[in-house]
Homo-oligomer: A and B are copies of this chain.
């Protein structure tokens, strides 16, 4: 029981046969393997690579994704995605780890000439990863690509100070109307509508024009907001923070690595 609960089990690296067996068993039991040692690595698949001997960190995760790290760079020098077939063997007293990805066919072979540390990790991780965009991110995304709010929209300023506060974005629509945009990263509510109505009034006064359009940009809005917005003549444009992050930092539809990532 004690052994079962242990998070890190350091292995005796003096006997390669035993080590090989213990690592193989641990992998079958869904453990993560961590090996620090001197190794070479050969990859053949979509291209071919050779890495001559040096000290590295090899991680084989419980989902059989594989990472080989040199002492420099955040990028692994070689790797395989999850679901790889991992075969651990010994050859002439050396530990040999073969990782095969089936489609596309890619094979990574790591040969250890010396092992400094080998450990079995029994990691429990039910943690939740949450990614957020700020209102500033949303503003930047709209300034970068105003069409996500409305086709033909042209921003003319942001964070413009007026009597009631700061206007997130001031823009001109395709018909030449002045537009005030108020951004919320969460739900738009009554206060949002009232705030924007004040900005619209402020700008109508400054510009001396009869009608300035007001648009609230937010992922969603309350029913009360919608009712009030209608009576105030305020518009609503749904936009998710996630979409804004995609606009700012791009989205990688295909999971394929790029050459640059591959060279590392």
Task: Give A residues with C-beta under 8 Å from B.
Answer: 7-8, 10, 32, 34, 36, 40, 46-57, 59, 61-63, 65-67, 69-74, 76-77, 79-82, 116-117, 119, 121, 123-134, 137, 245-246, 248-253, 255-264
Contact = CB atoms under 8 A, between A and B. Distances in A.
Contacts of A74: 61, 65-67, 76, 79-82
Nearest to A75: B65
Contacts of A131: 47-49, 262-263
Chain A interface, >50% SS class: mixed
Contact of A65 (B62, B65, B72, B79): B72
B258 A251 contact: yes
A255 B260 CA distance: 9
Contact of A62 (B56, B72, B132): B72
24 contacts: A7-B36, A7-B116, A10-B10, A10-B117, A46-B248, A47-B249, A49-B129, A50-B132, A51-B129, A51-B130, A54-B123, A61-B69, A61-B72, A61-B74, A62-B71, A62-B72, A71-B123, A71-B124, A74-B80, A249-B257, A249-B258, A250-B259, A251-B259, A255-B260
Contact of A8 (B56, B59, B116): B116
Contacts of A65: 72-74
A8 B49 contact: no
A47 B133 contact: yes
Nearest to A122: B55
Given A7-B55, A8-B117, A127-B53, A73 B61 contact: yes
B69 A57 contact: no
Nearest to A132: B48
Interface core residue of A47, A63, A252 (most chain B CB under 10 Å): A47
B252 A258 contact: yes
A82 to B, nearest CB: 6
A250 B258 CA distance: 5
A127 B40 contact: yes
B256 A260 contact: no
Contact of A128 (B46, B51, B124): B51
B256 A124 contact: no
Given A7-B116, A130-B50, A125 B261 contact: no
Which of A128, A132, A249 counts the most chain B CB atoms within 10 A? A249
B34 A121 contact: no
A128 to B, nearest CB: 5
